[in-house]
Chain A
């Protein structure tokens, strides 16, 4: 695991974080639920908590889908290429490329569609950046920058857990078990995202 330079993290007095979605995206509850599950994977292993709020202005973490140049100096590039990006603490911005074909459910391993991207897999990865983790060279880690196509990769690996717990400590309810599962995939030879 790695950290951003200077090891930025959310301060001790603000470990109960709120998140909100860009209102213009008009996301359905199903899509919002994907992010709720993604956040819960990180809160399960640390003392951090995440609560959804309707107020984007007041939220610590701001999630939105954008197309092309969206004003942060990091324009999206259309289908595939860059899928999403997020900023280090305490910026709180998580942006996803609205041009991708985001699959919301969990059956992406059945895909023949090479441009299909599993939303939860990318959400879990980007939340890691929001919390202060950089990219990892460990291939089964969530924080590895890419994953093969038709793959759902949402379980934190031990590398991810050790990294986030170095920043925020351990959730008292965490039983210490770490995932050693590999990404579920029907074809690991092809492309995709991270």
Chain B
């Protein structure tokens, strides 16, 4: 479907929903909850490299999902909450490139960069 400009798109095409619109229903989910559609979200996160497990996914908001969401939030400059907050869901449903963000468990996007932890601010010295 090629359109020379925006006005040439027939209006009826506008009614179609995007492939990931159903994820909007998961907004507000927290770790420990169970919600229809979380297994589909896990497949999404697996596709883009955020979950390594290949087992059948459940609709449980488990620790693996929390970790995956935290990594996703780091990569997209979101607040790292581990929850499916509205900002995170809004980012997830955006159409995007199909190439994974994390390939073979490796990335140098934000989540793969070494950050200065609070411990690193302590300099251990010995006085003489």
Contacts and interface: CB of A to CB of B under 8 A. Distances in A.
Contact of A82 (B2, B77, B96): B96
Interface residues on B, range: 35 or more
Interface string B82-125: 00000000110111111101011011111010000000000000
Interface residues of A, number: 55
Contacts, number: 137
B96 A146 contact: yes
A107 B19 contact: no
A56 interface: no
B107 to A, nearest CB: 6
Contacts of B57: none
A5 interface: yes
Contacts of B112: 2
> Chain A interface secondary structure, helix, strand, loop or mixed?
loop
Given A3-B108, A5-B106, A137-B76, A82 B95 contact: yes
B75 A137 contact: yes
Contacts of B13: 101, 113, 115
B35 interface: no
Given A76-B98, A101-B3, 14 more contacts: A1-B108, A2-B112, A5-B104, A80-B19, A80-B95, A85-B99, A104-B5, A113-B13, A115-B16, A116-B3, A135-B101, A135-B109, A193-B96, A194-B94
